[in-house]
Each structure stands twice: as structure tokens, then as C-alpha cells.
Structure 1
Amino acid sequence: MNVSGEASGPVVEADREAVRRCQAGEADAFRVVVERYANVLYGTAVLMLGDRSEAEDALQEAFLSGWAGISGFDPDRPLRPWLVRILVNHILQRRRRRFLRVIPLPEAPLPIASPETGPELAAEQAWQRREVAVALAALPADAARIVVLRYFSELSLREVAEALEVPVGTVKSRLHRALEKLRTELERGTGAELLRSHDSSAPQDGEAEA
């Protein structure tokens, strides 16, 4: 059983064959790549952007960039981390063009069976997810990229290393520093401040309860 989260042998071989066909100019081969990875990449885009329409645009841009750059891709390297890196770069560029406009994460469903789950708890957890998303957007591009690759795209450390073309040890040290920066942003209340300035439904300090 493959428990590392990395692609199994048959998938790697199929990717290798598809890449070689793409490099030979076969557009149909890239359609196979799109069909194989569209869902997982789209999920990452939605998580990062919180908007399905924007996620679709980012995904299309990423695949166009992938097709344009696949001639220089090494077929013996894993394909998925490379595609994820292209997508994440496009998304980070979109964020910077919008000056860190609030990008709420979609609200993940809470466990129905949990006795603690209620409207207040659900709202609080949704608020925390949004605050993390905004704090992440405030990080430097390199720090945001490595956090997204590891935790949003759920790549293994080895896959992140492949995507960034650095040793696994470098990934570990960069990830540690990035998480420290993210923690600092959260402690400073970066996410909360930006959310309050953009979201009229956000709780205001000192606001009386009805």
C-alpha cells in the first residue's frame, strides 16, 4: 500500500508516456493530462481563492502554461508537483494583483454527529478558516507557496521538493520558517483586521449583542 501520498508506479509511467507524447507535439496527450489532474488542481484553486469562477480561470491559465512549458519538462520527474507549482504561482500572482483582497476559504462541513456543533461554533470555525486564509495571503510569496503546496495541495515533503526543485531538507527548514511567519501573522491579528475592513458581517470590537 502506498501511504506516502506520492503517485504509484503505473501513474508515474502513464505520466511519463503522456509527457513524451506532448513533447512530440501530440495535443491529445495533454488532454489526457488535463483529465487526470483537473479535479485535484481545481480543488486546490477553490481552497486558495474561495471562488469557483476564479478557480476555473486560474486552472485554465495553469494548464496553458503547462502546455507551453512541457517541452522543457523532464519526463522522469513527477508531473503532479510540477503542475501544482504552476497553478500556485498563478494564484499567488492573482492575489498580489488584488492587493491582498479578502479571499475566504470555502466552509468545510462540520461533523453532523458532534454534539458541540451549533450555529455559534460553526460561525467561529468558519471565521478562523477565513482568518488563516487572509494571514496566508499576507506572507511573502515563497513562504505562502510552500505552505500551500504542503497543506492545501497535500503534497508529501518529497513532492514539494520536486515541485520547488530543492532537497527535502531545504523544504523542511523553509516550511518551518513559513509556519512561524504564519503564526506571527495570526498572533498579530492580520487576518482579523483585514476581514473586519472588508466584511460588514464580521464581529466588531465592543459591538453590543442584540
Structure 2
Amino acid sequence: MADVVAGKMAALEPLIERYQNQLFAYAARVLNDREKAADIFQETFLRVFQKRHTYRLGAPFRPWVYRICLNLCRDEFRRQKRGASVDLEERREVRDPGPGPAERTFRQNLSEQVRAAVTGLPEKQQKVFILVHYQGLSYPEVAEVLEIPVGTVKSRMFHASKRLADELQELRAEI
């Protein structure tokens, strides 16, 4: 990151390669729109270069870049609120086909129910849950990204997990 801070654009390439899948997946989950996620991913690294002077050398890069990505996702939500709202059903991502139609339908329904349960979490719990479970960030990293104490991260994870367990318990009863 020292080379990027020094203004060497070529030094961004290894960072882009390293975080490409993680950041794209994070933006896609947050926005539930793969095309917008691709735009956000590109914008994230443009901002990394533009804001390189704000990076503290020696500080962990991962929480800093996730914070930039999260802020861009928030900006996108604000733009969507000002413009026409898009139905979530129109923004479903394409899934890999399963072994057969029945299995594919079952998996699709299960995936949608889990996604709906996660989407139904309060926003603060949802952000923490996605960063921990889908993106693999540690509690201290999540705390840094969201600019909240680690204890708050733990509390939100506890409540999110409890709420999801309760909601998905009903799903287990149906299966």
C-alpha cells in the first residue's frame, strides 16, 4: 500500500486481484444487484487511489477498503431512494442449476427464504452479519469498518443470530 500512497497506480493491481472476489460479493449481497455491484467494485478502487492520502501506513488495509465499499453502497441506496425504487424480485441473481428440477426448486426456495430472513434483519444487524458470515471479517475488522466498538459488533451478531435462528426454525419445521 505504500507504493499506492506514493502515487504508483500499478501498485493497485495486486490489491484489486486480492480483494476482487470478496468486495464484489459483498457489494452484490448488500445491493442485491450484480451489475451495480460491479460498478461499486470499480468505484471502490478508484476511491482507494483518490483517497490514498487518508490511509494510515501500517494500518490494516482490509477494513479501510471495506469501509470505502460500504460507503459507496450507502450512496447507491440513497440514489435509489431518490429515483424510482426497483422491486427486489427483479434483482435476483442467477443461480447454478442443481441436479434436477425438484432439487433446483427446493434449493432456490431455501436460498430465497434464507436471503429474505437476512434481508429482514434490522439494518445494523444485517451489516454486521453480512460482514462476519459472508465476507469473513473478524469482529475487530467489522468494528473498524462500521466505526463501532467491538462489543457492539458482538451484541449485534448475537441478536442477528438469535433472530435468524428463530425465523429459520419455522423453516426447519416445514421441511
TM-score by length of 2: 0.70
Query: Aligned partners of 1:83 and 1:44: how far apart in 2?
Result: 12
The offset of 1:38, in angstroms, is: 1.8
Structure 2 counterparts to residues 20-99 of structure 1, below 5 A:
20-95=2-77, 97=80, 99=85
Structure 2 alignment gaps of length 5 or more: 171-175
The gaps in structure 1 that reach 5 residues or longer are 1-17, 113-117, 189-210
The structure-2 alpha-carbon separation of the partners of 1:43 and 1:127, relative to structure 1 and needing over 3 Å to count, comes to same
Report deviation, 1:50: 5.0
Preserved CA contact (<8 Å) 1:100 1:134: no
Give the whole-Å Cα distance in 2 for the aligned partners of 1:133 and 1:85. Answer: 23
Percent identity over the alignment is 33
Q: Partner of 1:143 in structure 2?
A: 125
Tell me the CA shift for residue 95 of structure 1.
4.4
Which residue pairs with 2:95 in the alignment? 107
Q: Which has the higher helix share?
A: 2
How many Å separate the matches in 2 of 1:34 and 1:80? 12
Q: 2:156 aligns with which of 174, 185, 193?
A: 174
SS at match of 1:34: helix
1:173 offset after TM fit, Å?
0.8
Contact 2:34 2:93 in 1 (8 A): no
Give the structure-1-normalised TM-score. 0.61
AA aligned opposite 1:147: F
Q: 1:70 to 1:141 in 2, by over 3 A?
A: farther
Aligned residues of 1:157 and 1:171 also touching (Cα < 8 A): yes
